[in-house]
């Protein structure tokens, strides 16, 4: 997808490019502020990508609630006992 | 080699962390280590579960890794890297332990090379996804169905190819950063990024197929969800 500059100085990106960076964006793994600005600009204008982003956010939240592991009381006690020995 | 900079202990005169050099004392090291383990118990267990697929083995692996980490604490030069360093020890312990235990062989190689293909096809497929489906999933009113949806999601994750499944679980469920997941999996961070893109796209595709099997049609969902 070609990109061009709009008057705000933010690179215009297309849906394919937005999808390419969407997951890293949602996971807080994009370091380049220009890339973050471009994807946020695109999400502000593209209903489909905005919906996809909201879907991915909801999906991640539900995944975490459904699958997150917690150390049992037994393991916690075992580790604290170990730490006491160090 | 003892670390020279102790980021976790603030300068009493400025209150700012990471700006001073201190000669580390044994008690400081112990406090730093204990605090780090306390803060990461759940994450350590979660990652160990993803690797071993078994609660007893996961607990043993965590305990063994904590012991190894304490033995190696002086090799940790940068305290800001404590978590990824800890996860790397966990992974190395897992590999050495399971390589020795022939009666419980590792069924999946976490080190196998990953050939990335078909990414553009998946991206194209995502673009064509009906908005009704996306909106349906994003709708906060569907919270009431949370248990059922959670079950659907975990079923779809379980059906992902192992490399994608583990990466998605480590990051989106256990809360690791890409960098930390790369340490656990022994792969470059760029490969983690690539697996996340493809894994999440495959997950979305699986959910779409589930929705279609359950009778959700594009027309129904679109009409129902349009404002």
Q: Which domains does chain B have, with CATH numbers?
A: 26-100 (1.10.1740.10), 119-225 (1.10.10.10)
Query: Is B171 within 8 Å of chain A by CB?
Result: yes
Instruction: Check if the interface score ipTM surpasses 0.90.
Output: no
pLDDT at residue B204 in the model: 86
Stretch B196-212: mean pLDDT, rounded? 86
Q: Say if residue B138's pLDDT is above 80.
A: no
pLDDT at residue B143 in the model: 60
Q: What's the token pair of residue B5?
A: 């900079």
Q: Which residue has the higher pLDDT, B141 or B24?
A: B141
Beta carbons of B200 and A56 less than 8 Å apart: yes
Query: Is B204 within 8 Å of chain A by CB?
Result: yes
Q: Say if residue B91's pLDDT is above 60.
A: yes
Stretch B100-112: mean pLDDT, rounded? 48
Distance from CA of A73 to the nearest CA of B (A): 11
Total domains in chain A come to 1
pLDDT at residue A67 in the model: 78
Beta carbons of A79 and B70 less than 8 Å apart: no
Q: Say if residue B12's pLDDT is above 50.
A: no
Residues of chain A falling short of pLDDT 50? 1-4
Q: Say if residue B98's pLDDT is above 60.
A: yes
What contacts B162, CB < 8 A, 6 or more positions away? B108
The upper half-sphere exposure of residue B173, i.e. CA atoms within 13 Å in the direction of its Cβ, equals 25
The CA-based dihedral angle spanning residues B165, B168, B173, B175, taken in that order and rounded to the nearest 10 degrees: 140
Out of A27, A76, A82, name the one closest to residue B178 (CB). Answer: A27
Cβ proximity of B24 and B6 under 8 Å: yes
Out of A15, A69, A86, name the one closest to residue B127 (CB). Answer: A15
Cβ proximity of B129 and A52 under 8 Å: yes
pLDDT at residue B216 in the model: 61
Enclosing domain of residue A8: 4-85
Distance from CA of B13 to the nearest CA of A (A): 30
Distance from CA of B148 to the nearest CA of A (A): 10
Q: What's the token pair of residue B177?
A: 């950063």
Beta carbons of B45 and A65 less than 8 Å apart: no
pLDDT cut 90: percent of chain B above it:
34
Q: Which residue has the higher pLDDT, B59 or A55?
A: B59
Chain A partners within 8 Å of B70 (Cβ):
82, 86
Beta carbons of A24 and B33 less than 8 Å apart: no
Beta carbons of B134 and A55 less than 8 Å apart: yes
Cβ proximity of B134 and B209 under 8 Å: no
CA gap A61, A59 in Å, rounded: 5
* B144-200 per-position pLDDT tens digit: 556 667 778 888 888 889 889 889 989 998 889 999 999 889 899 999 999 999 999
pLDDT at residue B131 in the model: 72
- Given phi > 0 = left and psi -120 to 50 = alpha, else beta, which region is B40? alpha
Q: What is the DSSP letter of B22?
A: -
Distance from CA of A5 to the nearest CA of B (A): 23
Minimum Cα–Cα distance from A70: chain B residue: B42
């Amino acid at each position: 997808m070609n990109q061009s500059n709009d008057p705000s100085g933010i690179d215009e990106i297309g849906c394919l490019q937005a999808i390419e960076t969407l997951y890293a964006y949602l996971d807080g793994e994009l370091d380049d502020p220009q890339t973050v600005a471009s994807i946020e600009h695109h999400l502000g204008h593209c209903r489909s990508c905005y919906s996809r982003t909201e879907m991915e956010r909801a999906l991640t939240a539900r995944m975490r609630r459904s699958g997150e592991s917690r150390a049992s009381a037994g393991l916690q006690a075992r580790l604290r006992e170990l730490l006491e020995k160090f | 080699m003892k670390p020279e900079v102790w980021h976790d202990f603030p300068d009493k005169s400025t209150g700012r962390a990471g700006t001073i050099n201190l000669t580390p004392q044994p008690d400081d090291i112990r406090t730093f280590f204990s605090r780090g383990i306390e803060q990461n118990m759940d994450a350590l267990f979660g990652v160990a579960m993803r690797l071993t697929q078994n609660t007893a083995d996961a607990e043993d692996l965590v305990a063994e890794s904590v012991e190894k980490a304490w033995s190696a604490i002086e090799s940790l030069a940068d305290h800001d890297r404590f978590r990824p360093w800890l996860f790397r020890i966990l992974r190395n312990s897992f590999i050495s332990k399971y390589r020795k235990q022939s009666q419980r062989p590792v069924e999946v190689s976490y080190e196998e090379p990953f050939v990335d293909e078909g990414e553009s096809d998946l991206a194209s497929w995502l673009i064509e996804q009906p908005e009704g489906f996306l909106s349906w999933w994003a709708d906060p009113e569907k919270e009431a169905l949370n248990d059922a949806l959670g079950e659907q999601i975990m079923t779809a994750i379980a059906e992902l190819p192992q490399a994608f499944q583990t990466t998605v679980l480590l990051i989106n469920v256990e809360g690791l950063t890409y960098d930390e997941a790369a340490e656990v999996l022994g792969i470059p961070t760029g490969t983690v990024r690539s697996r996340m893109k493809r894994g999440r796209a495959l997950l979305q595709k699986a959910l779409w197929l589930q929705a279609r099997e359950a009778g959700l049609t594009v027309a129904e969902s679109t009409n129902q969800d349009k404002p």
